Amino acid sequence: MAKQSDVLSADFLVKVAEEFGTPVYIYHAEKIKTQYEKLQKAFRKADTRFFYACKALTNINVIRYIQSLGAGLDTVSIQEVMLGLKAGFNPKDIFYTPNCVDINEIIAAKDLGVNINIDNISILEQWGNKFGDSYPICIRLNPHIMAGGNYKISTGHVDSKFGISIHQLRHIERIVKSTKLKVTGLHMHTGSEIKDVDVFLRAVDIMFEIAANFDDLEFLDLGSGFKVAYQPGDPETDIELLGEKVSEAINKFSASYKRPLQLWFEPGKFLVSQAGYFVVKANVIKQTTATVFVGVNSGFNHLIRPMFYDAFHLIRNISHPKGTERIYTVVGNICETDTFGWDRKINEVREGDFLVFYNAGAYGFEMSSNFNSRLKPAEVLIKDGKPQLIRRADVLEDLLRNQIEIAL
Going by C-alpha positions, the residue among 74, 183, 165 that lies closest to residue 121 is 165
DSSP per-residue letters across 52-104: EEGGG---HHHHHHHHHTT-EEEESSHHHHHHHHHHT--GGGEEE---S--HH
Calculate the average pLDDT of the chain: 93
Give the three-state DSSP class for 399: helix
**Residues of the chain with pLDDT > 70: what percent?**
94
**Residues of the chain with pLDDT > 90: what percent?**
84
Average pLDDT of span 157-167:
80
Distance CA 213, CA 173 (A): 8
Average pLDDT of span 311-319:
97
Alpha carbon of 127 to those of 98, 133, 137, 138, 360: distances in Å?
14, 10, 9, 12, 39
Choose between 202 and 208: higher pLDDT.
208
pTM of structure: 0.93
Note if the bond before 23 is cis, omega within 30 degrees.
Answer: yes
Q: Is the pLDDT of residue 304 over 70?
A: yes
- What integer pLDDT is reported at residue 113 of this predicted model? 98
Distance CA 150, CA 143 (A): 18
Q: Which amino acid is at 317?
A: N
- What integer pLDDT is reported at residue 155 of this predicted model? 43
CB-based contact 369:394 (threshold 8 Å): no
Distance CA 368, CA 59 (A): 13
- What integer pLDDT is reported at residue 146 of this predicted model? 47
CB-based contact 54:83 (threshold 8 Å): yes
Active site residues: 335
- What integer pLDDT is reported at residue 191 of this predicted model? 62
Q: Does the annotation flag 27 for ligand binding?
A: no
| pLDDT band for position 221 (cuts 50, 70, 90) | very high
For 136-148, b/e burial (b = at least 16 CB within 10 A) is ebbbbbbbbbebb
Radius of gyration of the chain (CA): 23
For the stretch 90-135, pLDDT in tens is 999 999 999 999 999 999 999 999 999 999 999 999 999 999 999 9
Domains and their CATH numbers in the chain: 43-268 (3.20.20.10), 276-400 (2.40.37.10)
| pLDDT band for position 4 (cuts 50, 70, 90) | low
CB-based contact 343:329 (threshold 8 Å): yes
For the stretch 50-70, pLDDT in tens is 999 999 999 999 999 999 999
Q: Does the annotation flag 336 for ligand binding?
A: yes
For the stretch 195-205, pLDDT in tens is 678 878 888 88
| pLDDT band for position 381 (cuts 50, 70, 90) | very high
Q: Is the pLDDT of residue 77 over 80?
A: yes
Q: Is the pLDDT of residue 256 over 60?
A: yes
Write the DSSP symbol of residue 166: G
- What integer pLDDT is reported at residue 1 of this predicted model? 35
Other CB atoms within 10 Å distance of the CB of residue 217:
21
Q: Does the annotation flag 132 for ligand binding?
A: no
CB-based contact 216:250 (threshold 8 Å): no
Average pLDDT of span 15-28:
98
Distance CA 200, CA 143 (A): 11
